[in-house]
Amino acid sequence: MKIPDLAELALRNLRESLLRNSLTTVGISVGVASLVAMLSLGIGLQQLASRRLGKSGLFDTVIVSSRREMRGMGREEERNGPAPGESRVLDEAARVEIEHLPNVLEAYPDIRFNTELRYEDKPHLTTISALPASAKSNDAFEGMQGNYFSSDTAPEAILQKSFAEELLGKTTKLGAPEPNVADLAAPLLGKELTMRYAQRETTPSSPGSTSPTPASPADALASTAYSVVSREQKLKIVGVSDLDPESMRGPTRAKVFLPLKLAESLHVMQATDLREVSRAASALPVYQSVSVKVAKPSQVQTVEDAIKKMGFTTFSILDASRSIQTFFKVLDVFLGIFGSLALAVASIGIVNTLVMAILERRREIGIMKAIGASDGDVKKLFFAEAGAMGILGGMAGVALGWAIGKVINTGTNVYLRSQSLPADNFWAVPWWLVLFAIGFAVLVSLISGLYPAARAARLDPVQALRYE
Amino acid sequence: MAIAPGTAPANGAIRTENLCRHYRMGETLIRAVDGVSLEVRSGEFVALLGSSGSGKSSVLNLIAGLDRPTSGTVVVQDKDLARLSREELAKYRLHVVGMVFQSFNLIASMTLAENVELPLRFAEVDRGKREGLAREALERVGLKARTNHRPSELSGGEQQRAALARALINRPQLLLADEPTGNLDSHTGTEIMDLLREFNEGLGMTVVMVTHERALAERYARRMIFLADGKLIDDRPNVPIAAASETSGVQR
C-alpha cells in the first residue's frame, strides 16, 4: 500500500474508536510533556549557568604568569617545562605576542599594587588593581551603584563594597545583615580620593625614547636605569560594586579599581619590579601576570597550550567549567529518564489499544486479507496507526510540556521576585528538543506497535472471517 | 468499461489432486477436506453442493488461497498454491481471485466506494484511477446512486451487489462465491445470481459457487459437484435454465 493510502486508512481507523484512541494519544502526550518539561528545565538551567558564568569572565580568561613568579595559581605546573630561573620574562613584548595569538581578544597586564588612599584626610592602605574597558560587561558589575569608568584613562575609581564600608568607618558584625550597597554608595559617589604611590621613572639614556611603553625592544634595551619618585593622584569615585570582581583571586584580591590605561601611565612601582630589574636586560615593563581574554570558552585550551609553549605558566577555570558541564549532562540524563518513565507507561497504553483494536477488527483484517491485503499491508496499517498516535501525541505533548515549563518558570520567578531576588529564565525549549521529543514519541509508539502489528499480520484469514 | 467482455484468459482452470485439509480439535482429527480431486475449466460456472460440514467452504477457501492444504495440491492457472509464499498468495488473492461471502463482508466504517476501491489500494493503483474504476464497478451492479453510503444504510441485496463490485474491481479471472444468497430473500438472491451469470457469460469469468440450495444450482450452474464428509461424491454437468431472470432489475 502506498504511504498516503496507509496514512488515510490509519487516521480513519483512529477516528472510528475516537474516545479510546484519543485517550491513548493523551497518554502519549502527557509522557512527552513530562519529558519536554523536565528537559526544558534542565537545558534552561544549563543555559542560565553558562550565561551567568560566561558573563563572569571566568571561563574565557587565561591568567599568564612567568615561571619565575611561582606564586598562587598554577603551582602544579612547576614540575613541567623549563626551570623557573630559565624561563622567559613576562614583559610588554611577551604581552603583545600573546595578544597576537589566534582567538585571543585581548591580553592586558595585571597591574596590582598596595598603596595608601586618603579619603577625608584619613589614610587607608589597600590593594588596587586595574581593569580594562572590556571588564564593563563583567557580571561582577551587575547591580553596581554609579557608573563604570567614563574612559580608559579617566582619573576615576570604583570601590568594592567592603572598602566603601571601611571609608565610611562602618564595620559589619558577623551574622548581621550586610549593608545595602546603595546606602554605602550614596555618600561616596563623586567624592575624591587621593592616591599616594611610588612611581618608577625610567632614566632615558638616549633622547627620543621617553615614551612610557617603549615601542620596540631596541628602544627598551636602550633604557635600563630608573629612579623611584613619590607621587599623588586624585581619583573620583564613580562606582561602588556590590559583588567582588576579583573573587577568583582569593586573598590577593583588590578592593579598589582603576582604569587600565590610567594605571599603566602612572608607572607604579610594583612588588615584582625590584626582583625583575636586578636581572632584566630590558627596561620594558615587566608584569607579574597578564590576563588573556579568549573569544570562546571552547578555545581556552588551545590558547593555553600556545602560551605554555612560549614558556609561561597559565591558569584557567576550564576544568571547573568542564565538571559543571558534566554535571548538567548528568542532570539532563536523569531528568530525561524521569520524563521517559511517563512515556514508557504511555507506550503500554499504545500496545493495549492496538491489541484491543486487533480483537475488535479481527473480521476486518480477515476481509482485507481475503481481498488481497498482504501480511505487510496489515502490519504497515497497524504500524501507521501507532505512528500517527505517536505524532499526534508528540505534538500535543510538546505544546503541553512547553506550557508546563513556562508555568513553572513564571511561578518560580514570581517567587524569586517576592524574595527580592532577580528573576531569570531557567527554562528553554530549543528547536532540537521539539524535534527530538516528537521523534522519540513516534519511535516509542512504533516500538509499541511492533507486537500488535506482527500479531495482526499473522492472523489466519479463515479464522478471522469466521469471527463475529 | 474496464472489465471488457470476452477477455477471459485461456488458463483460468483449477485443478486439485487428492486435496486434504485436516484440523485437530483436541484429540479428534477433523477431515474437513479429504482427498478431493477435481478440475474446473476456464469459463465454467460450477456449483459446489453439500450439507453443512460437507467441506464445500473449505475447498473454496483452499482454491481462494485463504487456507493451505494439509496434503495434496491445488493448482490455479498453473500455480501450485501450496508452494506460494504468504506474500505471493496475497498477490494471487489480489489479482486472480474475486470473492463474495454469505455475510457480504463489507467494512462497516467505509462507504461503498471506499469498500469497492480497497483492493485497488492494496494493488497500489493511483487515486485518480481508483475513483473512476470504483464508480464503474458500482454502476455495473446498479449502485451508482449509493456510492457514498455506508453498508449499514443498505439492504442485504445492495450490500451483496457492492461486494460483487469489489470482487470485480481488480478484473480477476476467478470469481469464488460462498453462499452468496444465503442471507438474502429469494427475489434478491435471484438478482445476485443473475449478476453472477452475467459475469460468467458476459465477462468470461470462471465462477465457483458454494451453496446448499440445489434449486439455485440447477437454475444457474453448468456443472454441479456434490461433497459429503469432505469427499467428492458426485460431479455432473447441468443445463441451467437459460432464460435470464424476469425479475432482474439490474442496470447494464
Between A242 and A375, name the one with better pLDDT. A375
pLDDT tens for B198-215 read 999 988 899 999 998 899
Q: How far apart are CA A256 and CA A251, in angstroms?
A: 14
A164 neighbors A117 (Cβ within 8 angstroms)? no
Q: Which residue of B has its CA nearest to A3?
A: B124
Chain B residues with beta carbon closer than 8 angstroms to that of A360: none
Q: Which residue of A has its CA nearest to B67?
A: A462
Distance (Å) from the alpha carbon of B183 to chain A's nearest alpha carbon? 15
Given pLDDT bands bounded at 50, 70 and 90, which one contains residue A87? low
pLDDT of residue A376: 92
Specify if B5 maps to a domain.
no
Q: Does the pLDDT value for residue A433 go beyond 80?
A: yes
Q: What percent of chain B has pLDDT over 90?
A: 69
Distance (Å) from the alpha carbon of A20 to chain B's nearest alpha carbon? 16
Region of poorest pLDDT, from A53-62, B136-145, B190-199: A53-62
Chain A residues with beta carbon closer than 8 angstroms to that of B67: 460-462
Which amino acid does the sequence have at A2? K
Window 366-405 of A: residues touching B by CB (8 A cutoff) are 366-377
Beta bridge pairs of residue A232: A196
Disruptive mutation site among B89, B97, B102, B105 for chain A (greatest number of A CBs within 10 Å): B105
DSSP B25: E
Mean pLDDT of B106-125: 92
Chain A residues with beta carbon closer than 8 angstroms to that of B110: 12
ipTM value > 0.90: no
Q: Which span out of A55-69, A420-434, A440-454 was modeled with the highest average pLDDT?
A: A440-454
Given pLDDT bands bounded at 50, 70 and 90, which one contains residue B150? very high
Q: Does the pLDDT value for residue A73 go beyond 80?
A: no
Given pLDDT bands bounded at 50, 70 and 90, which one contains residue A268? confident
Between B140 and B6, name the one with better pLDDT. B140
Q: Which span out of A35-39, B59-63, B201-205 was modeled with the highest average pLDDT?
A: B59-63
Region of poorest pLDDT, from A24-33, A77-86, A158-167, B68-77: A77-86
Q: Can you give chain A as a three-state secondary structure string? A: CCHHHHHHHHHHHHHHCHHHHHHHHHHHHHHHHHHHHHHHHHHHHHHHHHHHHHHHCCCCEEEEEECCCCCCCCHHHHHCCCCHHHCCCCEHHHHHHHHCCCCEEEEEECCEEEEEEEECCEEEEEEEEEECHHHHHCHHHCCCEECCCCCCCCCEEEEEHHHHHHHCCCCCCCCCCCCCHHHHHCCCCCCEEEEEEEEEEECCCCCCCCCCCCCCHHHHHHCCCEEEEEEEEEEEEEEEECCCCCHHHHHHCCCEEEEHHHHHHHCECCHHHHHHHHHCCCCCCECCEEEEEECCHHHHHHHHHHHHHCCEEEECCHHHHHHHHHHHHHHHHHHHHHHHHHHHHHHHHHHHHHHHHHHHCHHHHHHHHHCCCCHHHHHHHHHHHHHHHHHHHHHHHHHHHHHHHHHHHHHHHHHHHHCCCCCCCCCCCCHHHHHHHHHHHHHHHHHHHHHHHHHHHHCCHHHHHHCC
Q: Which span out of A58-72, A95-109, A362-376 was modeled with the highest average pLDDT?
A: A362-376
Mean pLDDT of A212-230: 56
pLDDT of residue A245: 66
Distance (Å) from the alpha carbon of A362 to chain B's nearest alpha carbon? 11
Distance (Å) from the alpha carbon of A359 to chain B's nearest alpha carbon? 15
Between A351 and A204, name the one with better pLDDT. A351
Mean pLDDT of A314-343: 78
Specify if B247 maps to a domain.
no
- CA atoms A281, A284, A287, A291: torsion sign: negative
Chain B residues with beta carbon closer than 8 angstroms to that of A377: 90, 122
Between A181 and B188, name the one with better pLDDT. B188
Specify if B7 maps to a domain.
no
Between A301 and A398, name the one with better pLDDT. A398
Q: Does the pLDDT value for residue A277 go beyond 80?
A: no
Q: Structural domain of residue B23, as residue ranges?
A: 14-237
Distance (Å) from the alpha carbon of A2 to chain B's nearest alpha carbon? 6
pLDDT of residue A55: 64
Q: Does the pLDDT value for residue B95 go beyond 70?
A: yes
CATH of the domain at B210: 3.40.50.300
pLDDT of residue A371: 92
Chain B residues with beta carbon closer than 8 angstroms to that of A357: none
Distance (Å) from the alpha carbon of A360 to chain B's nearest alpha carbon? 12
Given pLDDT bands bounded at 50, 70 and 90, which one contains residue A77? very low
Disruptive mutation site among B100, B122, B126, B152 for chain A (greatest number of A CBs within 10 Å): B122
pLDDT of residue A204: 55
Number of domains in chain B: 1
Region of poorest pLDDT, from A22-26, A174-178, B95-99: A174-178
Specify if B217 maps to a domain.
yes
Contact B118 A376 (CB under 8 A): no
Chain A residues with beta carbon closer than 8 angstroms to that of B123: 372
Distance (Å) from the alpha carbon of A440 to chain B's nearest alpha carbon? 30
Given pLDDT bands bounded at 50, 70 and 90, which one contains residue A320? low
Distance (Å) from the alpha carbon of B242 to chain A's nearest alpha carbon? 31
Q: Which residue of A has its CA nearest to B58?
A: A462
Region of poorest pLDDT, from A138-142, B74-78, B84-88, B96-100: A138-142
Mean pLDDT of A273-286: 54
A465 neighbors B57 (Cβ within 8 angstroms)? no
Mean pLDDT of A205-228: 51
Q: Which residue of A has its CA nearest to B57?
A: A462
- Per-residue burial over A384-411, b = 16 or more CB atoms within 10 Å of its CB, e = otherwise: bbbbbbbbbbbbbbbebbbebbeebbee
Given pLDDT bands bounded at 50, 70 and 90, which one contains residue B12? very low
Mean pLDDT of A391-411: 90
Region of poorest pLDDT, from A296-310, A392-406, B150-164: A296-310
Looking at every residue in chain A, the average pLDDT score rounds to 79
Q: In terms of DSSP bridges, do strands B28-40 and B14-25 run parallel, antiparallel, or are they unpaired?
A: antiparallel
Q: What percent of chain A has pLDDT over 90?
A: 7
A59 neighbors A300 (Cβ within 8 angstroms)? yes
Chain B residues with beta carbon closer than 8 angstroms to that of A385: none
Contact B95 A372 (CB under 8 A): yes
Interface of B with A (CB under 8 A): 61, 64, 66-67, 86-87, 90-91, 93-95, 99, 101, 105-107, 109-110, 118-119, 121-124, 127, 166-167, 170
Specify if B6 maps to a domain.
no
Q: How far apart are CA A159 and CA A181, in angstroms?
A: 11
pLDDT of residue A346: 80
Given pLDDT bands bounded at 50, 70 and 90, which one contains residue A221? very low
Specify if B9 maps to a domain.
no
Mean pLDDT of B143-164: 92
Disruptive mutation site among B109, B120, B168 for chain A (greatest number of A CBs within 10 Å): B109
Q: Does the pLDDT value for residue A359 go beyond 50?
A: yes
Mean pLDDT of B128-150: 90
Q: Which residue of A has its CA nearest to B91?
A: A372
Contact A377 B86 (CB under 8 A): no
Specify if B110 maps to a domain.
yes
Specify if B45 maps to a domain.
yes
Contact A374 B86 (CB under 8 A): yes
Between A204 and A136, name the one with better pLDDT. A136
pTM summary value: 0.66
Mean pLDDT of A13-17: 86
Q: Does the pLDDT value for residue B94 go beyond 90?
A: yes
